[in-house]
């Protein structure tokens, strides 16, 4: 089976490296195998490996007209021209393997339908959680199950930043700068830190687990840029950890999708997933809770998932993503979380009584009230019982109007 590769950046170069290193190894184990025939890029200078054994082209459409090529691998990222490349490849009767979470999250249903029409496969293990096998196992090993929820840490950049904040008590901006220096965060880190990367990935996990087509605009998404050193210190003192978590689950016959930071107890399995590691929990009605952990990013780990998809096609053993059908989406306003609300407050005797009155008026239960600091640094920290998003928003509006509230200093969900 001949393969054409578009994009020789970090992941594309990783794919070349794996091919040159391990081809003989996997050919020894299987009659049918895959040959990387052609590579395509506008500029091959980013790839540190010798490409002379491959056809090299600047014209991606030339891969589509080559009748020998059965698989097109799209590794350029971004929405366009990647979407067009994938669509035209499928229309040309080529299987497509991609790591492009954005295109799939936004256009997944149309592209999967196009693949089905043209009787080819569109595979995307590499688009979620790097080297960790999770799309294929959900389609194959977990098929006997009705999956109930999928959630976890699916963005390495934010996990690295949060890990460093916990270790150093440093502020978000300082740690972000360090992550950029180390190459763990991009020059424009907004997609990672605002949660959009996690959003795309949870859409793909939901599509695979539940065969649902969701619109990315409808998902509850909060990033980590508002998290302060004070939030981290509060968590550290209590043996807790703040993680950016993405979640998809059935709730009242509708799909609940959310991406936001959450405070976890130190004993929670996700609390130990640090640095650029990713971890995905899958809960099925027969298998119970399963946890898949590993490197969520990086050229070689991601390219390992790319080759897994190619070799599955070569061995005619590719997993299949069932057709996506529309699913009712659980409304953001009704999603329930427990919140920890930190208020900067003026000093007055009746502070706790005043706060309790406002919470009671909004029918928000209080789990814990702690008065911390004094004078200028006086704070009131209140943990709520499970509360709907809509009610929480109205509570915060009311709190902001109280004469004893100087500022709403932080609002974080806690527990999973």
Binding mask 16-55 for its own copies (x = CB under 8 A): --x--xx--xx--xx-------------------------
Residue 265 C-beta: closest distance to its own copies, Å: 12
Count of residues binding its own copies (CB under 8 A)? 54
Task: Pinpoint the alpha helices (H) of 182-279.
Answer: 190-193, 196-210, 229-237
In angstroms, how far is CA 303 from the centroid of its own chain? 17
Instruction: Give yes or no for a contact between 175 and 165, defined as CB atoms under 8 angstroms apart.
Output: yes
Q: Is residue 148 close enough to count as binding its own copies by CB under 8 A? A: no
Nearest CA to 235 among 200, 284, 268, 205?
A: 268
Nearest CA to 160 among 139, 175, 173?
A: 175
Please identify, using beta-carbon distances, which residue of 115 and 383 lies nearer to its own copies. 115
Please identify, using beta-carbon distances, which residue of 118 and 145 lies nearer to its own copies. 145
Footprint (CB under 8 A) of its own copies, residues 372-401: none
Nearest CA to 249 among 278, 289, 209?
A: 209
Residue 308 C-beta: closest distance to its own copies, Å: 5
Q: Pick from 41, 70, 74, 125: which binds its own copies (CB under 8 A)?
A: 125
- Whether 106 is catalytic is no
Q: Is residue 289 close enough to count as binding its own copies by CB under 8 A? A: yes
Q: Is residue 131 close enough to count as binding its own copies by CB under 8 A? A: yes
Q: Pick from 114, 221, 224, 312: which binds its own copies (CB under 8 A)?
A: 312
Please identify, using beta-carbon distances, which residue of 111 and 139 lies nearer to its own copies. 139
Q: Is residue 253 close enough to count as binding its own copies by CB under 8 A? A: no
Please identify, using beta-carbon distances, which residue of 25 and 181 lies nearer to its own copies. 25
Q: Is residue 360 close enough to count as binding its own copies by CB under 8 A? A: no
Do β-strands 325-326 and 2-6 pair in parallel, antiparallel, or remain unpaired? unpaired
Dihedral of CA atoms 120, 126, 132, 134 in degrees, nearest 10, equals -40
CA distances (Å), 267 to each of 165, 379, 415, in order? 19, 27, 11
Q: Is residue 326 close enough to count as binding its own copies by CB under 8 A? A: no
Q: Is residue 301 close enough to count as binding its own copies by CB under 8 A? A: yes
Instruction: Give yes or no for a contact between 247 and 257, defined as CB atoms under 8 angstroms apart.
Output: yes
Marked catalytic residue, from 37, 94, 201, 243: 201
Q: Which stretch binds its own copies (CB under 8 A): 78-86, 156-164, 289-297, 372-380?
A: 289-297
Q: Pick from 141, 180, 228, 402: which binds its own copies (CB under 8 A)?
A: 141
Footprint (CB under 8 A) of its own copies, residues 204-223: 211
Q: Is residue 137 close enough to count as binding its own copies by CB under 8 A? A: yes
Nearest CA to 103 among 119, 120, 137, 126?
A: 126
Report the C-alpha gap between 128 and 149 in whole angstroms. 16
Q: Pick from 7, 284, 378, 410: which binds its own copies (CB under 8 A)?
A: 284
Nearest CA to 245 among 333, 104, 150?
A: 150
- Residue 277 — φ and ψ, nearest 5°? -70, 150
- First-residue to last-residue Cα distance in the chain: 45
Q: Pick from 110, 182, 226, 317: which binds its own copies (CB under 8 A)?
A: 317
Please identify, using beta-carbon distances, which residue of 142 and 224 lies nearer to its own copies. 142
Q: Is residue 304 close enough to count as binding its own copies by CB under 8 A? A: yes
Report the C-alpha gap between 344 and 333 in whole angstroms. 26
DSSP conformation letters of 347-376: --TTHHHHHHHHHHHTT--EEEEEEES-GG
Q: Is residue 311 close enough to count as binding its own copies by CB under 8 A? A: yes
Report the C-alpha gap between 354 and 326 in whole angstroms. 46
Residue 322 C-beta: closest distance to its own copies, Å: 4
Do β-strands 147-153 and 277-284 pair in parallel, antiparallel, or remain unpaired? antiparallel
Q: Is residue 108 close enough to count as binding its own copies by CB under 8 A? A: no
Task: Pinpoint the alpha helices (H) of 221-350.
Answer: 229-237, 299-314
CA distances (Å), 202 to each of 142, 205, 234, in order? 18, 5, 28
Please identify, using beta-carbon distances, which residue of 141 and 402 lies nearer to its own copies. 141
Please identify, using beta-carbon distances, which residue of 26 and 49 lies nearer to its own copies. 26
Query: Which parts of this chain interact with its own copies (CB under 8 A)?
Result: 14, 18, 21-22, 25-26, 29-30, 125, 131-133, 136-137, 140-146, 211, 267, 269, 272, 284-295, 298, 300-301, 303-305, 307-308, 311-312, 315-320, 322
As annotated, the active-site residues are 201
């Amino acid at each position: 089976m001949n393969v054409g590769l578009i994009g020789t950046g970090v992941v594309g170069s990783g794919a070349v490296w794996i091919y040159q290193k391990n081809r003989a190894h996997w050919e020894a184990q299987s009659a049918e195998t895959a040959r990387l025939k052609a590579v395509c890029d506008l500029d091959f200078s980013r790839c540190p490996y010798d490409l002379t054994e491959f056809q090299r082209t600047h014209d991606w459409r030339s891969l589509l007209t080559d009748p020998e090529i059965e698989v097109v691998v799209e590794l350029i990222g971004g929405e366009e021209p990647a979407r067009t490349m994938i669509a035209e490849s499928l229309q040309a009767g080529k299987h497509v393997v991609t790591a492009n979470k954005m295109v799939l999250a936004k256009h997944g249903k149309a592209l999967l339908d196009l693949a089905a029409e043209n009787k080819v496969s569109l595979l995307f293990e590499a688009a979620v959680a790097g080297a960790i096998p999770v799309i294929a196992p959900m389609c194959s090993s977990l098929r006997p199950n009705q999956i109930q929820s999928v959630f976890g840490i699916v963005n390495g950049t934010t996990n690295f930043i949060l890990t460093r904040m916990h270790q150093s008590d440093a502020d978000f901006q300082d740690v972000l700068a360090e992550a950029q220096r180390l190459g763990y965060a991009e020059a424009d880190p907004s997609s990672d830190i605002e949660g959009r990367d996690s959003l795309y990935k949870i859409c793909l996990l939901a599509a695979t687990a539940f065969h649902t087509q969701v619109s990315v605009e409808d998902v509850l998404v909060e990033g980590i840029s508002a998290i302060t050193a004070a939030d981290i210190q509060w968590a550290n003192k209590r043996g807790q950890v703040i993680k950016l978590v993405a979640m998809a689950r059935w709730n009242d016959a509708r799909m609940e999708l959310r991406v936001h930071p959450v405070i976890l107890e130190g004993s929670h399995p996700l609390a130990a997933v640090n640095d650029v590691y990713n971890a995905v929990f899958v809960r099925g009605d027969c298998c119970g809770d399963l946890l898949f952990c590993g490197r969520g990013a990086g050229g070689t780990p991601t390219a390992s998932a790319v080759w897994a998809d190619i070799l599955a096609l070569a061995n005619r053993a590719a997993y299949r993503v069932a057709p996506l059908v529309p699913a009712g989406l659980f409304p953001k306003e009704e999603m329930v979380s427990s919140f920890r609300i930190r208020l900067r407050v003026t000093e007055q005797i009746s502070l706790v009584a005043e706060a309790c009155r406002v919470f009671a008026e909004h029918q928000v239960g209080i789990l814990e009230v702690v008065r911390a600091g004094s004078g200028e640094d006086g704070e009131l920290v209140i943990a709520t019982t499970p509360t709907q998003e809509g009610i929480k928003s109205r509570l915060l509006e009311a709190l902001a109007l109280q004469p004893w509230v100087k500022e709403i200093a932080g609002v974080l969900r806690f527990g999973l």
